[in-house]
Amino acid sequence: MFPPHFHHVRQDVTRHLQRLIQINTTNPPGNEIRVATYLRDVLREEGYEPLILESAPGRANLVARLKGTGEKPPLLLMGHTDVVPAEPEHWTHPPFGGEIHDGYIWGRGAIDMKSLIATQLVLMVLFKRAQDAGESPLKRDLIWMAAADEETGGALGAGWLATHHPELIQAEYALNEGGGSGYKIGDQVYYSCQTAEKGFARFRLTAHGDPGHGAIPHRNMAIVTLAETISRLGNTPLPLHITETFRLYIDRVAATQPADLAKGLQTLLDPHQFDHALANLPLTPYQKRYLNSMARNTATPTILSGGSKINVIPAEATVQVDGRILPGFDRADFEHEIRPLLGTDVALEWLDYGAAMEAPVESPLFEVITAVMKTHQPDATVVPLLLTGGTDAKHIASLGTHVYGFAPILWEENPGLINTVHGHNERISIRALEFGVRTLYEIVYHFCQL
Ligand SMILES: [Zn+2]
């Protein structure tokens, strides 16, 4: 089923990723137009007519489309071209060098997510060449969106496109980053496919009190009032909510684990037993924290300010709180949960907000992903993932698109690698990169034949 030149894929995807890493698109400032121009030139060579749309000077988004038969609505491949900053002094090889050492391509964006951009570029080329060579066209248009600005929220990227040019990217399904990493629990291998993503509802709390001299304390001090609220917020778990993705995640992991662990995992689905069951599971502390944040809305205090001089009691103190909300909840629901913890002396002011999203776990695309992974990794299980952080998925989901995050990373190569995302020494193996192209090619091919 692979086009005749598939054996060139390894060289092509490697070369594109090296070049993309060398184009520094650290956001801010972004300058994604330099990547967009590179992608446009490659696509034009293949006969595409890609569009570059600037949301602000230098902040470019690229959209390209391969026409299918139109029997089914389009599939969107979505990605972002910006990266987070890097501190070169902490890297073994330069973060914008794109150098290859021992089979790994090094650089900022090697995983998040210029690797997926390079992969999607190769996919667009392969499907175009197949069609030009006379293979029957896909039943869906294949749209590619390489957007700017994901790392600071996507307002100038996917969010801007969804608002200003929805007709260009409107699709029934989308494939995004956010899932795909392989990992092990016990002896069993899993690949995550992101089906849901938490939203955010951030806020600021302000406590007021009486000013005064630091040498003469009183009973109405803003910092103390605020500290009491922060303590309640930080130490009181919010109510448990079992989403569809969480339930199916637990079901599918439990179904492949030994009986005693399976039983412990299933107990997590009972809100009355969740905390106790989680504490007793033989998992790492990080795994437990992640499971906990998959089952609750959370409110994490992150920025604290108040006072300017050590001998002056300030009349005001503030804290900013990173609120994260589950699919099915909006800001009003969230406020209902946190209000009782705030007390009466603290004012609440909402900051930025992004809705959560959840795509159906039982869907044709999820089934194709599962089937393709079975042929490559027969012993592995694909499980749905509720991402507690954020991607561009929410912008695209707002158009009614079912977004799935699947950027495969081989489980045996993953330990440690995924931790280099946004950290030092980010890198990906050429083998993993090629594996990603092959699996995603098959996923797109089969899904667009259905
Ligand atoms: Zn990313």
DSSP label at residue 309: S
> How far does residue 124's CA lie from ligand 1's centre (Å)?
20
Instruction: Report the C-alpha gap between 377 and 234 in whole angstroms.
Output: 42
> How far does residue 392's CA lie from ligand 1's centre (Å)?
8
DSSP label at residue 136: P
Instruction: Report the C-alpha gap between 408 and 422 in whole angstroms.
Output: 18
Instruction: Report the C-alpha gap between 142 and 124 in whole angstroms.
Output: 8
Token reading at 92: 């073994």
Instruction: Report the C-alpha gap between 395 and 197 in whole angstroms.
Output: 11
| 149: nearest Cα among 327, 260, 28 | 28
> How far does residue 432's CA lie from ligand 1's centre (Å)?
17
> How far does residue 38's CA lie from ligand 1's centre (Å)?
19
Number of C-alpha atoms within 13 angstroms, CB side, residue 182?
Answer: 20
> How far does residue 8's CA lie from ligand 1's centre (Å)?
26
Q: CB neighbours of 248 closer than 8 A, spacing ≥ 6?
A: 361, 383, 384
Query: Which helix (DSSP H) or strand (DSSP E) does residue 53 occupy?
Result: strand 51-56
- Residues around ion ligand 1, judged by CB within 5 A, are 112-113, 177
CATH 3.40.630.10 fits 6-178+362-370+386-447, yes or no: yes
> How far does residue 419's CA lie from ligand 1's centre (Å)?
13
DSSP label at residue 191: E
The pLDDT value recorded for residue 186 is 87
The pLDDT value recorded for residue 416 is 72
The pLDDT value recorded for residue 2 is 56
The pLDDT value recorded for residue 6 is 66
| 403: nearest Cα among 413, 393, 411 | 393
Token reading at 121: 């570029």
> What pTM did the predictor assign?
0.92
The pLDDT value recorded for residue 58 is 97
> How far does residue 366's CA lie from ligand 1's centre (Å)?
21
**Options 3.60.9.10, 3.40.190.10, 3.30.70.360, 3.10.580.10; CATH of 199-239+297-355:** 3.30.70.360
Q: Which residues of the chain have pLDDT under 50?
A: 4
> How far does residue 362's CA lie from ligand 1's centre (Å)?
25
pLDDT digits (tens, 9 = 90+) for 70-100: 999 999 999 999 999 999 999 999 999 999 9
> How far does residue 200's CA lie from ligand 1's centre (Å)?
17
Domains 6-178+362-370+386-447 and 199-239+297-355 in one fold: no
Give the phi and the psi of residue 236 in degrees, each rounded to 5: -110, 110
| 417: nearest Cα among 137, 77, 180 | 180
Contact call for residues 69 and 139 (beta carbons, < 8 A)? yes
> How far does residue 422's CA lie from ligand 1's centre (Å)?
9
Strand partners, 145: 63, 78
> How far does residue 167's CA lie from ligand 1's centre (Å)?
24
> How far does residue 380's CA lie from ligand 1's centre (Å)?
24
> How far does residue 434's CA lie from ligand 1's centre (Å)?
19
> How far does residue 87's CA lie from ligand 1's centre (Å)?
18
Token reading at 141: 């248009």
> How far does residue 272's CA lie from ligand 1's centre (Å)?
36
Sequence spans of domains, the chain: 6-178+362-370+386-447, 199-239+297-355
The pLDDT value recorded for residue 215 is 98
> How far does residue 165's CA lie from ligand 1's centre (Å)?
22
Instruction: Report the C-alpha gap between 375 and 39 in whole angstroms.
Output: 31
